[in-house]
Protein backbone atom coordinates (compact mmCIF):
# COMPACT_ATOMS: atom_id res chain seq x y z
CA UNK A 1 0.00 0.00 0.00
CA UNK A 2 1.14 3.51 -0.76
CA UNK A 3 1.92 5.45 2.35
CA UNK A 4 2.10 9.22 2.43
CA UNK A 5 2.75 10.74 5.84
CA UNK A 6 2.66 14.33 6.99
CA UNK A 7 4.60 15.60 9.95
CA UNK A 8 1.68 16.98 11.94
CA UNK A 9 -2.09 16.53 11.95
CA UNK A 10 -2.72 19.83 13.74
CA UNK A 11 -0.52 22.90 14.03
CA UNK A 12 -1.03 26.29 15.64
CA UNK A 13 1.33 29.13 14.72
CA UNK A 14 1.49 32.88 15.18
CA UNK A 15 1.41 35.48 12.43
CA UNK A 16 4.89 36.09 11.05
CA UNK A 17 6.33 32.75 12.08
CA UNK A 18 8.14 30.56 9.56
CA UNK A 19 6.30 27.26 9.22
CA UNK A 20 7.58 23.96 7.82
CA UNK A 21 5.21 21.23 6.71
CA UNK A 22 6.87 17.93 5.88
CA UNK A 23 5.60 15.17 3.64
CA UNK A 24 7.19 11.76 3.15
CA UNK A 25 6.17 8.97 0.78
CA UNK A 26 7.51 5.43 0.82
CA UNK A 27 6.69 4.28 -2.72
CA UNK A 28 9.57 5.83 -4.66
CA UNK A 29 7.15 8.15 -6.46
CA UNK A 30 8.60 10.75 -8.79
CA UNK A 31 5.85 13.34 -8.38
CA UNK A 32 4.79 15.11 -5.23
CA UNK A 33 2.15 17.79 -4.72
CA UNK A 34 1.05 20.29 -2.11
CA UNK A 35 -2.58 21.40 -2.04
CA UNK A 36 -4.66 23.44 0.34
CA UNK A 37 -8.33 22.76 0.92
CA UNK A 38 -10.78 25.41 2.11
CA UNK A 39 -14.56 25.25 2.48
CA UNK A 40 -16.28 26.46 -0.67
CA UNK A 41 -13.00 26.70 -2.60
CA UNK A 42 -12.24 23.01 -3.01
CA UNK A 43 -8.68 21.81 -3.49
CA UNK A 44 -6.09 24.26 -4.85
CA UNK A 45 -2.62 23.32 -6.04
CA UNK A 46 0.21 25.27 -4.41
CA UNK A 47 3.35 23.61 -5.81
CA UNK A 48 4.36 20.32 -7.31
CA UNK A 49 7.62 18.55 -8.03
CA UNK A 50 8.35 15.91 -10.65
CA UNK A 51 11.90 15.14 -9.57
CA UNK A 52 14.45 15.83 -6.87
CA UNK A 53 15.32 19.52 -6.72
CA UNK A 54 12.66 20.31 -9.34
CA UNK A 55 9.59 22.37 -8.53
CA UNK A 56 6.76 23.99 -10.42
CA UNK A 57 4.28 26.60 -9.26
CA UNK A 58 0.67 25.63 -9.02
CA UNK A 59 -2.30 27.98 -8.91
CA UNK A 60 -1.59 29.73 -5.62
CA UNK A 61 2.17 29.75 -4.88
CA UNK A 62 2.30 33.23 -3.33
CA UNK A 63 3.48 33.17 0.28
CA UNK A 64 4.80 29.61 -0.03
CA UNK A 65 8.00 27.91 -1.06
CA UNK A 66 8.96 24.25 -1.35
CA UNK A 67 12.00 22.06 -1.06
CA UNK A 68 12.70 18.62 -2.47
CA UNK A 69 16.20 17.53 -1.56
CA UNK A 70 15.38 13.81 -1.48
CA UNK A 71 12.96 11.85 -3.63
CA UNK A 72 10.80 10.73 -0.73
CA UNK A 73 10.43 14.09 0.99
CA UNK A 74 8.66 17.27 -0.11
CA UNK A 75 8.53 20.23 2.26
CA UNK A 76 6.17 23.19 2.15
CA UNK A 77 7.44 26.38 3.76
CA UNK A 78 5.36 29.36 4.81
CA UNK A 79 7.98 32.08 4.95
CA UNK A 80 5.93 34.40 7.16
CA UNK A 81 2.64 32.88 8.19
CA UNK A 82 -0.49 34.98 7.85
CA UNK A 83 -4.03 34.38 9.05
CA UNK A 84 -5.27 33.79 5.51
CA UNK A 85 -3.02 30.75 5.36
CA UNK A 86 -5.15 29.02 7.97
CA UNK A 87 -6.24 25.92 6.07
CA UNK A 88 -6.04 22.17 5.63
CA UNK A 89 -2.81 21.30 3.79
CA UNK A 90 -2.69 18.07 1.81
CA UNK A 91 0.33 16.37 0.33
CA UNK A 92 0.03 13.83 -2.49
CA UNK A 93 2.38 11.70 -4.55
CA UNK A 94 2.20 9.81 -7.82
CA UNK A 95 4.45 7.82 -10.06
CA UNK A 96 5.19 8.05 -13.73
CA UNK A 97 3.53 10.78 -15.75
CA UNK A 98 1.79 13.68 -14.08
CA UNK A 99 -1.60 12.19 -14.96
CA UNK A 100 -1.10 9.10 -12.83
CA UNK A 101 -3.13 8.39 -9.69
CA UNK A 102 -2.31 10.67 -6.78
CA UNK A 103 -2.27 9.28 -3.24
CA UNK A 104 -2.84 11.65 -0.37
CA UNK A 105 -1.51 11.99 3.13
CA UNK A 106 -3.80 12.53 6.14
CA UNK A 107 -3.53 16.32 5.97
CA UNK A 108 -2.27 19.02 8.32
CA UNK A 109 -4.81 21.42 9.72
CA UNK A 110 -2.93 24.69 10.28
CA UNK A 111 -4.29 27.53 12.37
CA UNK A 112 -2.45 30.86 12.18
CA UNK A 113 -3.33 33.26 14.98
CA UNK B 1 -10.08 21.53 -17.86
CA UNK B 2 -13.37 19.64 -17.84
CA UNK B 3 -15.73 20.40 -14.98
CA UNK B 4 -17.98 17.90 -13.24
CA UNK B 5 -21.46 18.10 -11.76
CA UNK B 6 -22.61 15.92 -8.88
CA UNK B 7 -25.69 15.93 -6.65
CA UNK B 8 -24.92 17.59 -3.32
CA UNK B 9 -26.11 14.75 -1.12
CA UNK B 10 -27.39 11.19 -1.09
CA UNK B 11 -28.61 8.78 1.55
CA UNK B 12 -28.11 5.04 1.34
CA UNK B 13 -29.21 2.18 3.55
CA UNK B 14 -26.50 -0.05 4.95
CA UNK B 15 -26.02 -3.16 2.84
CA UNK B 16 -27.61 -1.65 -0.26
CA UNK B 17 -25.80 -0.49 -3.38
CA UNK B 18 -25.03 3.21 -3.63
CA UNK B 19 -25.04 4.67 -7.16
CA UNK B 20 -23.34 8.05 -7.41
CA UNK B 21 -23.83 9.94 -10.68
CA UNK B 22 -21.47 12.46 -12.24
CA UNK B 23 -21.80 14.61 -15.36
CA UNK B 24 -18.67 15.65 -17.27
CA UNK B 25 -20.03 16.74 -20.63
CA UNK B 26 -16.92 18.73 -21.65
CA UNK B 27 -14.46 15.90 -21.08
CA UNK B 28 -11.76 15.50 -23.73
CA UNK B 29 -10.91 12.24 -25.43
CA UNK B 30 -7.76 11.52 -23.43
CA UNK B 31 -8.94 12.70 -20.00
CA UNK B 32 -9.52 10.16 -17.27
CA UNK B 33 -12.39 10.20 -14.79
CA UNK B 34 -11.19 9.76 -11.21
CA UNK B 35 -13.17 9.16 -8.04
CA UNK B 36 -11.91 10.00 -4.57
CA UNK B 37 -13.65 10.15 -1.24
CA UNK B 38 -12.91 12.12 1.89
CA UNK B 39 -14.00 11.20 5.35
CA UNK B 40 -14.33 14.20 7.63
CA UNK B 41 -10.96 15.80 8.50
CA UNK B 42 -8.93 13.15 6.68
CA UNK B 43 -6.99 13.20 3.42
CA UNK B 44 -8.78 12.17 0.22
CA UNK B 45 -8.73 8.45 -0.54
CA UNK B 46 -8.40 7.20 -4.12
CA UNK B 47 -11.23 4.88 -5.17
CA UNK B 48 -11.09 4.15 -8.89
CA UNK B 49 -10.50 5.70 -12.30
CA UNK B 50 -11.29 4.98 -15.94
CA UNK B 51 -11.03 6.27 -19.48
CA UNK B 52 -13.80 4.65 -21.50
CA UNK B 53 -14.29 1.09 -20.32
CA UNK B 54 -16.10 0.11 -17.16
CA UNK B 55 -13.77 -0.61 -14.28
CA UNK B 56 -14.05 -2.60 -11.06
CA UNK B 57 -11.80 -3.00 -8.06
CA UNK B 58 -12.18 -4.17 -4.48
CA UNK B 59 -13.81 -0.90 -3.44
CA UNK B 60 -16.19 0.00 -6.25
CA UNK B 61 -17.27 -0.17 -9.88
CA UNK B 62 -17.15 2.66 -12.38
CA UNK B 63 -19.57 2.80 -15.28
CA UNK B 64 -18.76 5.33 -18.00
CA UNK B 65 -21.33 6.06 -20.72
CA UNK B 66 -20.37 5.43 -24.31
CA UNK B 67 -20.21 9.16 -25.11
CA UNK B 68 -18.12 9.65 -21.92
CA UNK B 69 -20.25 12.59 -20.84
CA UNK B 70 -21.28 10.98 -17.59
CA UNK B 71 -20.32 8.21 -15.22
CA UNK B 72 -21.63 6.37 -12.17
CA UNK B 73 -19.69 5.13 -9.18
CA UNK B 74 -21.22 2.05 -7.59
CA UNK B 75 -20.51 0.99 -4.03
CA UNK B 76 -21.98 -2.52 -4.13
CA UNK B 77 -22.76 -3.03 -0.43
CA UNK B 78 -22.57 0.23 1.47
CA UNK B 79 -21.37 0.18 5.08
CA UNK B 80 -21.43 2.89 7.72
CA UNK B 81 -17.72 3.48 7.05
CA UNK B 82 -18.59 4.54 3.51
CA UNK B 83 -20.14 7.75 4.85
CA UNK B 84 -17.99 10.45 3.23
CA UNK B 85 -17.89 13.14 0.57
CA UNK B 86 -17.32 11.58 -2.85
CA UNK B 87 -15.58 13.56 -5.56
CA UNK B 88 -15.74 12.92 -9.27
CA UNK B 89 -12.81 14.54 -11.06
CA UNK B 90 -11.60 14.81 -14.60
CA UNK B 91 -7.84 14.91 -14.37
CA UNK B 92 -6.72 18.05 -16.14
CA UNK B 93 -3.46 19.41 -17.37
CA UNK B 94 -0.28 19.02 -15.30
CA UNK B 95 -1.97 16.35 -13.20
CA UNK B 96 -3.79 19.01 -11.21
CA UNK B 97 -6.72 17.60 -9.25
CA UNK B 98 -9.69 19.94 -8.99
CA UNK B 99 -12.20 18.88 -6.38
CA UNK B 100 -15.64 20.40 -6.65
CA UNK B 101 -18.24 20.25 -3.90
CA UNK B 102 -18.73 16.50 -4.29
CA UNK B 103 -21.61 14.37 -3.05
CA UNK B 104 -22.10 13.91 0.68
CA UNK B 105 -23.10 10.27 1.12
CA UNK B 106 -24.66 9.24 4.39
CA UNK B 107 -25.10 5.52 5.00
CA UNK B 108 -27.77 4.79 7.57
CA UNK B 109 -28.30 1.59 9.58
pLDDT for res B28 = 85
Q: Sign of the C-alpha dihedral, residues A109, B47, A57, A26?
A: positive
Which residues, 6 or more positions from A96, have their beta carbon under 8 angstroms from its beta carbon? Answer: A30, A31
Q: Which of residues 31-70 of B touch A (CB under 8 A)?
A: 32, 34, 36, 41-46, 49
Which residues, 6 or more positions from A71, have their beta carbon under 8 angstroms from its beta carbon? Answer: A28, A29, A30, A51, A52
Residue of B nearest to A107 (CA): B43
pLDDT for res A41 = 85
Residue of A nearest to B93 (CA): A99
Distance, C-alpha A52 to centroid of its chain: 15
Q: What is the residue-level pLDDT of chain B in tens, covering all 109 positions?
A: 568 999 999 999 999 999 999 999 988 888 889 999 999 889 999 999 999 989 999 999 999 999 999 999 999 999 999 999 999 998 866 667 777 789 999 999 9
Which residues, 6 or more positions from A2, have their beta carbon under 8 angstroms from its beta carbon? Answer: A25, A26, A27, A29, A93, A103
pLDDT for res A40 = 83
Span A35-44, mean pLDDT?
A: 89
C-beta atoms of B46 and A103 within 8 A: yes
Choose between A12 and A43: higher pLDDT. A12
Query: In this predicted model, what pLDDT tens digit does every residue of A70-101 receive, in sequence order?
Result: 999 999 999 999 999 999 999 999 987 766 88
Amino acid sequence: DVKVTQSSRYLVKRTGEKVFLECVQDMDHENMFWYRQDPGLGLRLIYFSYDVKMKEKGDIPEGYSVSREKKERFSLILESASTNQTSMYLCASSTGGLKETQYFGPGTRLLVL
Amino acid sequence: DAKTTQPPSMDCAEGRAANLPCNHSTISGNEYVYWYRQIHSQGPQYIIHGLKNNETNEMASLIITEDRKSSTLILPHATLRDTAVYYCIVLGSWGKLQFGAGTQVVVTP
